[in-house]
Chain A
Amino acid sequence: MLWLCIHFHRLPLEVFSPARQAVPETALAIVERHRICAANAAALALGVRLDMSASSALALSDTLKLREREPAHEASTLATLADWACSFSSQVSISPPDRLLLEIGASLRLFGGVASLLQTAEAEVSARGHNVHHGLGPTPLSAELFARALPCKPSAPPAWAIHHDPEAFRHTLYALPIHFLDTPGKQQLAMQRMGLGRTGELFALPSAALGKRFGKDFSVYLARLHGERPDPRPLHRPREYFAHRVHFLEPIADAAMLLFPMQRLLGDMGRFLDRRQLYCQRLEWRLGMTRGAGQTLPVACSLQHNRVDALLGLTKLALEKLKLGGSVESLELACAESASLEAQAGQLFAHAQDSDPEAERLLLDRLRLRLGNERVHGIYVRDSHLPEQAWSAIQEPSAPIFGSAAPERPCWLLEKPVGLELRNGHPAWDGNLTLLSGPERIDTAWWATPHCRDYFIAQHEDGSLLWVFRERTTGQWFAQGVFG
């Protein structure tokens, strides 16, 4: 067993500036319980010191930025890093607040030794904008201890780790000063008063006596540090999302030929999601082209289960609208959004007239894909006196808040009011109009574009009823609606 501890010692700072900072760096310090707990180089140059109170740090300079520490953000960053670390080891565990533990003994052959593994890890972690300390040890606790006390350079890992020499390890461990041990300050003080300076002197004492003096936990800690007691760690489970890619030996120029690999990928995704009790809400096809930028084909799906045929049908519709800009070299399917499956009991005697929500969702998905989102919509009542603003098109139907207490309104609203001509002083629109009732005066929007209109219900000579108005400022007549 060889444990690698990756210590993200600047994590509280790095969650605020994940990418590499541009020069000059702004002075940033992190505050926890009104005390500075971390500061970057620029802040240290201003004279900020750890454990300084926040107010005295602010007094040093007005360019200093203080941020409250965000443990939740740190934890999620660490979990993301743990996902990344799974590419180095099958045994990854998170040691809060800022350390990852990897058992790399089993991965050494794959990476070609300790040094090259550490260099790869270092390169990747710094590309993500993190500064780390590495520590190697045969037990998790010793790796953590070395990361704290003797961080090793990836280019020069300790000789004992390369040559698997337990004797040399013990020698290094015993030479460490006692204050690096992960024990409370009170115990540290007591050990110093006993005249102990190095870890080796501590291990020379009988463990029963140490346990009596410093408590059972301390002797367990020492035994685990040394590897005499097992130290089980909870394993990190990588987060679950689906993204699979296939490469074609021969580039595909015909979109229809993509359907077969698509079906296979959808089947894979269905199995993946089914195992995790998830269903796909939006999937994304990424087409890698032989030339030029790749194309992305998003498919939204509101079905609540992973039915390959339904997903394939939606994909087909999306493909019909897609213009292939060249030959497709690779195809990737990513489940962009998923939600957890809620098991629903099917109906044994489904009545033919009962509406099937699944079929309805699939229908709306298909219509939206083919016609476009803006051509499939619901309608909604808005609170406005101006008739053209009293409705709106919405994507997701929701119940209107406003009731309609309005007088007679036409079922059909014209896209834009149509100007009417005046014939012998009467408004006319491809035929004479007779005013039946009105006027209803709407005088609104004086704060923006004022509208002062007198609305009438008019009958066309062919019998249809129109909603016309006269703009009072200009005296012009318009038709705005039709009473269906």
Chain B
Amino acid sequence: MKDASDPLETILARPDIWQAGRVSAANEPGHTLPSGYPALDAALHQGGWPRAALTELLATRCGIGEIQLLAPTLAHISRGGRRVFLVAPPHIPYAPALQALELQLTQIVVLRPQGRSELLWSLEQILRSGSCGCLLGWLEQDRAAADYASMRRLQIAARNTPGPVFLFRSPGPAATLSPAALRIRLEHEPGGLRLRILKQRGGRAGQEVLIGRSSRLLAPRVLPALLPTCVSGIGSEFQESRRFSATIQPVAPSSLPQPSMH
């Protein structure tokens, strides 16, 4: 309880006294969004992804589980009727997989800007409009796009955004300065994805969190005998097909090797 007569409280209430722990209004609980991973939420000192601020995700390459990391957040936002913008994604966002991750496909907008100026312009427009539920941007394709000045511009524009903003960058600039509120390095680890928090505004950095990949993906389900590693020559084709039919699925006659194939 605050006591108005407490001299310390009176001093702290002065507008010209700034407390390092109280960065801005963005520190309040309503200004974060749970990530869906309790371990990660615990490591983030605000208890979730920051809204209205940039989050940088530094990853060497795609395919290490970065979408799986964001999937609970994206599903929550899109199901809530808010737009999710994917700006300059590295590949085609594959609709059946996103639907399986429980994203609302109608809320997803994919943008493919060409070149640096269009990319930065699109990001800024989306952030400024204030009508974006979540923004995922990939900057790594164009290294020059992510200089400090443009990141700062985006950070200011992001203040209008109600949702979290994730920018994917290559880990090259990890040592450089960035105005982003949260910087996380994503690294592959056997069995999962290792998150190392490089910076969080108003909090301590350096935490590490391991997020396991979906067991459906990693569990080895190939019978070694079925692996077509021995298929160097065409001659083994017949044998291999017979083994398929014996162990996994009944093979339609049409898929059996035809004489004409050889």
Interface residues, chain A, with chain B CB atoms under 8 Å away:
352-353, 355-357, 359-360, 362-364, 366-367, 370-371, 375-382, 387, 390-393, 397-400, 403-404, 406, 408-415, 422, 425-426, 435-439, 441, 443, 446, 452, 454, 456-457, 460, 462-466, 470, 472-473, 475, 481-484
Check if A379 sits within 8 Å of B66, measured CB to CB. no
**A460 to B94 Cα, complex, angstroms:** 20
Pairwise interchain contact B188-A436, C-beta atoms closer than 8 A: no
Contact of B99 with A381 in the complex, beta carbons under 8 Å: yes
Q: Say how far B135's CB is from chain A's closest CB, in angstroms.
A: 11
Interface contact A411-B218, CB-CB below 8 Å? no
Nearest CB on B from A57, distance (A)? 56
Question: How close is B100's CB to chain A, nearest CB, in angstroms?
Answer: 5
| Residue B148 CB within 8 A of the other chain | no
Cβ-neighbour of B95 out of A366, A400, A415, A462 (below 8 A): A400
* A377–B110 alpha-carbon span in the complex (Å): 5
In the bound complex, CA of A362 to CA of B248 (Å): 53
Bound form: Cα–Cα A465–B68 in Å: 12
Taking A411-B97, A470-B231 as given, write out 19 further A-B residue pairs in contact, using a Cβ cutoff of 8 Å, ordered by the A residue number.
Answer: A359-B131, A363-B129, A363-B132, A371-B114, A371-B118, A379-B98, A379-B108, A404-B99, A408-B216, A410-B97, A412-B91, A425-B232, A435-B227, A436-B218, A437-B219, A441-B244, A464-B62, A483-B217, A484-B68
Closest CB in chain B relative to A436 CB, distance in Å: 6
Check A439–B222 contact: CB distance below 8 A: yes
* Interface assignment of B221: CB less than 8 Å from any CB of chain A: yes
Taking a contact as CB atoms under 8 Å apart, the answer to whether A379 and B110 are in contact is yes
The chain B residue sitting closest to A439, CB to CB, is B226
Q: How far is the CB of A133 from chain B (nearest CB, A)?
A: 58
Give chain B interface residues in 219-251, CB to chain A under 8 Å.
219-222, 226-232, 234, 237, 244, 248-249
User: Are A465 and B217 interface neighbours, CB within 8 A?
Assistant: yes
Q: Does B212 contact A (CB under 8 A)?
A: no
- Whether B60 sits at the interface, judged by CB under 8 Å, is yes
> Any chain A CB within 8 A of the CB of B130?
yes
Which B residues lie at the A interface, using CB under 8 A?
A: 60-68, 81-83, 89-101, 105-114, 118, 121-122, 125-126, 129-133, 162, 188-190, 213, 216-222, 226-232, 234, 237, 244, 248-249, 252, 254-255, 261
Complex CA distance for A364 and B110, rounded to whole angstroms: 11
A425 to B230, CA, bound (A): 7
Assess whether B63 is in contact with A460, with CB atoms less than 8 Å apart: yes
For B64, what are the chain A residues with a Cβ–Cβ distance below 8 Å?
463-465
CA of A439 to CA of B83, assembled, Å = 36
State whether A437 touches B222 (Cβ < 8 A).
yes
CA distance A410 to B232 in the complex (A): 27
- Nearest residue in A to B227 (C-beta to C-beta)? A435
Which of A437, A443, A483 counts the most chain B CB atoms within 10 A? A483
Question: Is there contact, CB below 8 Å, between A436 and B126?
Answer: no
Chain B residues whose CB sits within 8 angstroms of the CB of A473 once the complex forms: 261
Cα distance A464–B125 when bound, in Å? 32
Closest partner residue, chain A, to B94 (CB atom): A413
Chain B nearest CB, measured from A238 CB (Å): 39
CB neighbours of B133 from chain A (8 A): 355
Is the CB–CB distance between A436 and B83 below 8 Å?
no
B218–A409 touching, CB < 8 Å: no
Kindly identify which residue among A412, A422, A457 contacts B90, using a CB–CB cutoff of 8 Å: A412
Interface contact B81-A355, CB-CB below 8 Å: yes
A-B contact pairs, 5 of them (CB 8 A): A411-B93, A425-B230, A437-B221, A465-B64, A484-B63
**What residue in chain A is nearest B101 (Cβ atoms)?**
A411
Q: A356–B110 Cα gap in the complex (Å)? A: 20
Check A398/B220 contact, CB under 8 A, given A376-B111, A413-B92.
no
Say yes or no: B162 contacts A355, CB within 8 Å. Answer: yes
Enumerate the 6 nearest inter-chain pairs by beta-carbon distance, A residue then B residue, closest first: A463-B188, A464-B63, A484-B67, A412-B91, A391-B95, A437-B221
Assuming the contacts A375-B114, A463-B189, asked whether A403 and B162 have C-beta atoms less than 8 A apart, the reply is: no
Assembly CA distance A57 to B166 (angstroms): 76
Q: Chain A residues near B125: list those with CB within 8 A.
A: 363, 366-367
Determine how close the nearest CB of chain A comes to the CB of B112; give it in whole angstroms: 4
Residues of B within 8 A of A410 (CB): 94, 97
Q: Which residues on A sit within 8 Å (CB–CB) of B222?
A: 435-439, 456
Bound state CA distance, A382 and B100, in angstroms? 14
Indicate if the CB atoms of B131 and A475 lie closer than 8 Å. no
Residue of A nearest to B90 (CB): A412
* Residue in A closest to B231 when the chains form the complex, CB atoms: A475
B122–A367 touching, CB < 8 Å: yes
Please pick, from A387, A398, A422, A482, the residue contacting B62 in the complex, using a CB distance under 8 A: A482
Evaluate contact between A412 and B129: CB separation under 8 angstroms.
no
Q: B66: which of A439, A475, A484 is its contact (CB, 8 Å)?
A: A484
Decide: A436 and B61 in contact? CB cutoff 8 A. Answer: no
What chain B residues lie within 8 Å of A481 (beta carbons)?
91, 94
Chain A residues whose CB sits within 8 angstroms of the CB of B261 once the complex forms: 473
- Docked Cα-Cα span, A441 to B237, in Å, equals 15
Bound CA span A362–B234, Å: 59
Contact A378 B92 (CB under 8 A): no
Query: In the bound complex, what is the Cα–Cα distance between A444 and B254 (angstroms)?
Result: 11
A437 touches B220 (CB 8 A): yes
| Smallest CB separation, A345 vs chain B (Å) | 19
What's the Cα separation between A379 and B219 when bound, in Å? 30
Asked whether B118 lies within 8 Å of A462 as measured between CB atoms, the reply is no
Complex alpha-carbon distance, A171 and B5, angstroms = 110
Of B100, B132, B217, B229, the residue contacting A436 (CB under 8 A) is B217
Nearest-neighbour CB distance to chain B for A393, whole angstroms, equals: 7
CB of B74 to closest CB in A, whole Å: 10
Instruction: Determine if A482 and B130 form an interchain contact, defined as CB atoms under 8 angstroms apart.
Output: no
Residues on B with beta carbons closer than 8 Å to the beta carbon of A367: 111, 122, 125-126
Q: Of A359, A397, A425, A475, which one neighbours B107 at CB under 8 angstroms?
A: A397
Q: Is the CB of A370 within 8 A of B121?
A: yes
- A406 and B97 alpha carbons, distance in the complex (Å): 9
Bound complex: CA A446 to CA B97 (Å)? 25
- Per the bound structure, the CA–CA distance linking A482 and B94 in Å amounts to 10
Q: Cβ of B221 and Cβ of A375 under 8 Å apart?
A: no
A391 touches B131 (CB 8 A): no
Known contacts A397-B107, A484-B65; is A360 also within 8 Å of B83 by CB?
A: yes
A425 touching B110, Cβ below 8 Å: no
Is A409 a contact of B100 with CB atoms below 8 Å? yes
Smallest CB–CB gap between B118 and chain A, Å? 6
A465 to B132, CA, bound (A): 30
